[in-house]
């Protein structure tokens, strides 16, 4: 039986995108457009950047920084997407975060795996308006939305 554990760094998929959000129509200087209340997948590129900046980063940054204080002080686009984020490229899953061999997560600390399972994966799924991955729901938000799969 293949053991599939929750993500280790799935929230890093969708992290800060240091771009300024687009100005809203007629709302005055610096106003931002209101995002539609739809799943992330239904947003266009501009809206995704705005969503990341206004919704995901404020929710996820403290979860990561509180888990390992002193690390990820510069939590942002490059955390997940690398230098390509500076050029507006935010491809996921990303080779900029650890690759996962889902059959053997032994190189990771159990406390980190549990944190991903109980805090990161459910929070990201909720923010993205997606169901969580589970063996019963293999299409839900899970590890391989953020991480590339390592060779087994």
- Is residue 47 within 8 A of residue 35, CB to CB? The reply is yes
Q: Give 111-148 pLDDT, tens digit per residue.
A: 999 999 999 999 999 999 999 999 999 999 999 998 88
Q: Rounded distance, CA 24 to CA 90, Å?
A: 23
* Domain ranges within the chain, ordered by starting residue: 10-145
What's the predicted TM-score (pTM) here? 0.73
In this structure, what are the phi and psi dihedrals at residue 85, rounded to the nearest 5 degrees? -60, -30
């Amino acid at each position: 039986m293949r053991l599939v554990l929750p993500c280790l760094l799935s929230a890093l998929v969708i992290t800060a995108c240091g771009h300024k959000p687009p100005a809203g129509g007629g709302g005055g200087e610096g106003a931002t457009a209101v995002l539609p209340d739809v799943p992330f997948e239904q947003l266009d590129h501009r809206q995704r950047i705005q969503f990341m900046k206004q919704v995901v980063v404020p929710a996820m940054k403290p979860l990561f920084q509180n888990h390992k204080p002193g690390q990820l002080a510069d939590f942002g686009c490059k955390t997940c997407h690398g230098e390509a984020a500076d050029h507006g490229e935010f491809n996921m899953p990303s080779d900029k975060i650890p690759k996962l061999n889902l059959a053997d997560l032994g190189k990771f600390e159990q406390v980190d795996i549990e944190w991903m399972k109980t805090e990161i994966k459910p929070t990201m799924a909720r923010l993205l308006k997606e169901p969580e991955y589970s063996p019963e729901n293999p299409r839900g938000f899970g590890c391989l939305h953020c991480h590339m799969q390592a060779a087994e």
